[in-house]
A and B are shown apart, each in its own frame.
Chain A
Amino acid sequence: MKSYEILLPGITVLPIIGVVVLLIWRKATKKQAATIGILCEAFALIIPIILLAALRREGSILFTLPWIPNMQISFSLELSWLSLIFLLTEVLVTLTAMIYSLGETTGEKYSNYYYALLLLFSLGMSGTTLADDVFLFYIFWELMLIASVLLILIWGHGEIRFKVALKYFIVTHLGSLMVLVSLITLYVNFGTASLSALILQASTLPVNMQVFLILFFIIGFSVKMAIFPLHIWLPDAHTVAPMPVTIILAAAMLSMGTYGILRFPFALFPLESIQPFALWMMLAGLISEVYGALIALAEKDIKRIIAYSSVSQMGYILFGLGTLTARGMQGSILHVVYHAIVKALLFMVVGIVISMTGERDIRKISGLGSKFPILCVCAAIGVLGISGMPPLGIFNSEWLIFGGGFDSGVSIVLTVMTLIGSLLTVVYALRFFGLIFIGEPKPEALPVKTTRALIIPTVAVAVFLIVEGLAPAPLMSWAIRGLTSIFGSFQ
């Protein structure tokens, strides 16, 4: 084992240490609990950055410990270029949400449990992206769900949270079960849980079995992506969850579905087997894009507007994946990252608006632009970002996705429709911005200043969005390497 390989489990161990400390230290104040959480996440963020040089040299870093040898199950983690992108996105989003939550009232009570659960939520996502063993993957996958359900259940808004948490659990768990069935089928057929080993063997399965597994994987992961009509858990969960949890749900957890599709059906089976699903994925993506945008246009609750916008944005990602082209998939991977940044920014803005006005009904809020110019600029950057305005990041990913659509050989009309459909994003985003920030200030009794603890991370994310848009090269090269690791010399 090489020295740097020992660092890899640190990404999962650090949050566990944080959780243990928080569970023991029951009297920790919110600030103390947050400090522990933030430190653990910050160190978990540093580790992959340290490993970057080794990753560049080796192509992937593997850490394996025997776990249940009789069943060929091991504690196996792998850092690849693909997992790196998702891992960094997830850890950064969690870190930002933890910092943002310092300015929020959520988690004032039972702070230690709150941050412990946030760490567990993050651990679930980190583990999901790193796991090279299907059982380990599924454990982390469910940990992610359980931690988020508990966060909604305990710190969610209103009595409705019990129902919402149950709905979120049941619907996403149904998707997870489809994934589980597929994983078990693979395990039973090949007698190993190692993902690397399965990648080498899965293509030997009978074609009808492959089709069945691909279908189950795609539907299962699409539930997590909240693709129409599997999105029914998302609006309520995003609305009821406390804002930091909403940020993580929207900006990081949704991307796990994309990762799952890339890591399982796309990596396990030959493209010829996935080809029959390509058109359906593109169609589902288009419908989700248009549907989410239209509902966001009709919605009155500002939190739900941004939630539905996620349904729409996930549509782009699925469309890009469905193209089965290098450009389309590269665009989808980039879109995951850019969407995470934009969505985090927009939810942070919404959080500040709600905390200042006490309102969520967009009809009862207006003219905040003149009162809070910095917040207005951040919102404008977010709105232009989600509209795909260059040089902000989503422009880069969108045109790659559309380019992939044209490359796919499927009718030009479908891609043109997706492209023109993106105009709907501009419509709802500008409506959202206009109603909140333009016009006579409403409600009249507004605080003079915004909370600094809320506005600083918001500005930081807005700046990060601009920087990411202006310098997309590293991310693009990572995405290409990630795809190459899955598809070889795939073009």
Chain B
Amino acid sequence: MLDLVNLLIFLIFSLPLILGILMVLCKACYSKWVFGIEIGFIIAGLLGLGLLGEQKVVSSLSFMGEPITFSISTTPLLLYLGTLLALSALVWRHSRVDEALLPRYQFVLLNLSLSFGFIAFISGQFMIRFIALEIVGLLAALTVLSAFADSLSYKRFVFIFQLLRLGDLSILTSILLINQHAHTLDISQMIKAAIDLPVNVRTWILLGFLFALLIKLAVWPFGHWLQRIRETTVGVHFWISGFLMPSLGYYLLYRIIPILTSDILFQNFTLFLGLVLIILILLANILRLVKFDRFTQMSGIYGCFLLGAVAFGASQYLAYYILGLILYRLVLFLQAEAPSLMSKSVVTLMPIAINGFFIWVNFNHYPMAFMAGWVLLTGLTAYWNVRMTAQKFSKTREISPTRKFHTSNDISEGLILKSAQWLYQKLEIDIFSNGFSQLGDFFNRIAAWLNTNIEQGFERLWSWSGQKLMAISEVTFLTFEVDAAEKTGALVDDALSSLDIYEQNILKRSLRLDLVWIPLLLVVILAFLFVV
């Protein structure tokens, strides 16, 4: 039985991977029929895995000295199935309007994300899951690249990739902090170990995960990456960023519920965060501060609802609630892309139905105040959803990071408008929209300053030291070598010339023969002394 599980896992992972590689090498493999069959096979494989029951598969491979494990359970399979259904719907919709379906490059990205998305869902080892998440993030960012000559699309890619990577780094921080104490990479054991950690460490872990989740779910103010992809991609490949990435985010949130609920403070914080973000998104929407399209906005809002839902622990039917959110994304997308296919009422009523279902099945699980708030916020979002439908607030509202401020006519003049204007300019444009670019510019300025003042300062210091050393050396050389040599030379010359003069003086004098008597006398004296 286990062999069959292994085989299915291997096939579901490797089939899209191999097809992706083949599509690069062989044009014949690049066909929407091949892709359709592939998705069908993966769905069948997932159903097969689901039928074989929940189990932990330990593979023969290892990573960092630990075996690579796969955790086959209902929730990840269900969520992946949900995203695959969304993909099937996108393929079906696009095959009706466009024969080519996708450029080959995008097809390859899609196939690779199918492989790594699957691994990210079922991996039982946190680091393998993280690796798969990072690869999916890269693939999502790569979907905006169009051609080598298109610098603008590359800039978009850089922005998206950097933001997603920031999220991944914060997940890595949390993983490493847990791993430090758990001494294992097994997700279940790590989560269990995390619950017993000191509260300060747990706070870091929670913050790391939550920060990453806000980015992955594209919740305001981190929704700009999704909005930029939305502005450029309309095809099937939007599935990676619009469906797969958030689903992986949802599942990550699902897995860390024990950490979230390990302390009442964390629960309150998560709930508060979800609540505040929903209110802020709604307010921003009401005041027209945010110019995200409906897909990005509503996805963000329901991501926050999920934060609220998990704040009290894993309740019944949470997996189905998440599945509902994934399908709601599909409805939103289809409504924006092909309004004829999706009725406005479905878009309006579906979130009410999903939230209503969730609160109904968990009636006894949550506090009354929470349920009241849940209903109220669901009503509010539904109201604004209706408004947006009426205003045809769709993806035609394109934004640019350099856009200028403008006000809408339907907001009354006064304090609220001024506040809105101020908020819009300061928060939305200056900080959230242009902020990241400005942060980049800021780093560039710091880099330029460092380069001019420190790095070239080193150069100047080096040149200065070199010049000083040369000067010292020159002075030393002149003083102790050249001057000394000159002086010595002069002295020697003087001595020699004095000697010459002396000799010449001596030679000029006439020979005094009388002095010859002195040595003779000395000889006589010596002879005398010897005899005596």
Contacts and interface: CB of A to CB of B under 8 A. Distances in A.
Interface stretch (B3-11, B149-157, B347-355, B380-388): B149-157
Interface residues of B, number: 43
Contacts of A370: 147-149
Contact of B180 (A389, A390, A406, A416): A406
Nearest to B165: A426
A103 interface: no
Interface in A427-443: 427, 430-431, 434, 437-440
A232 B151 contact: no
Interface in B158-185: 158, 161-162, 165-166, 169, 172-173, 176-177, 179-180
B461 to A, nearest CB: 8
A303 to B, nearest CB: 15
Contact of A434 (B135, B158, B454, B459): B158
Contacts of B65: 473, 476
Interface string A395-407: 1100100110011
Nearest to A440: B149
Interface stretch (B25-33, B107-115, B442-450): B442-450
Contacts of B444: 297-298
A434 B148 contact: no
A399 B62 CA distance: 17
Contacts of B150: 438
A439 B151 contact: yes
Contacts, number: 104
Contact of B162 (A294, A419, A427): A427
Most-contacted residue by chain B among A232, A235, A294, A370 (CB, 10 A): A294
A295 interface: yes
Interface in A365-418: 367, 369-370, 376, 384, 387, 389-391, 395-396, 399, 402-403, 406-407, 412, 415-416
Contact of B204 (A369, A387, A412, A437): A412
A291 interface: yes
B169 A419 contact: yes
A399 B169 contact: no
B134 interface: yes
B356 interface: no
Contacts of B162: 423, 426-427, 430
B180 A407 contact: yes
A434 B151 contact: yes
Contact of B447 (A295, A403, A437, A438): A295
Contacts of A59: none
B451 interface: yes
Given A299-B451, A423-B166, A427-B443, A390 B131 contact: yes
Contact of A423 (B130, B134, B165, B459): B165
Given A167-B462, A412-B204, A298 B450 contact: yes
Most-contacted residue by chain B among A232, A430, A438 (CB, 10 A): A438
A298 B440 CA distance: 12
A235 B127 CA distance: 36
Contacts of A387: 165
Main secondary structure of the interface of A (DSSP, over half): helix
Contacts of B176: 399, 402-403, 406
B152 to A, nearest CB: 10
A298 to B, nearest CB: 4
Nearest to B446: A294
B443 A424 contact: yes
A403 B443 contact: no
A229 interface: yes
B458 interface: yes
19 contacts: A294-B446, A294-B447, A295-B447, A297-B444, A298-B448, A369-B148, A370-B147, A387-B165, A390-B131, A395-B131, A412-B177, A419-B172, A420-B169, A424-B443, A426-B162, A427-B443, A434-B158, A438-B154, A439-B151
Interface of A: 167, 229, 232, 235, 291, 294-295, 297-299, 367, 369-370, 376, 384, 387, 389-391, 395-396, 399, 402-403, 406-407, 412, 415-416, 419-420, 422-424, 426-427, 430-431, 434, 437-440, 473, 476
Interface of B: 62, 64-65, 127, 130-131, 134-135, 138, 147-151, 154-155, 158, 161-162, 165-166, 169, 172-173, 176-177, 179-180, 201, 204, 440, 443-444, 446-448, 450-451, 454-455, 458-459, 462
The 4 closest A-B pairs by CB, nearest first: A298-B447, A370-B148, A298-B451, A369-B148
Given A370-B149, A427-B440, A434-B151, 11 more contacts: A295-B451, A298-B448, A367-B149, A415-B173, A423-B162, A423-B166, A426-B162, A430-B162, A438-B148, A473-B65, A476-B64
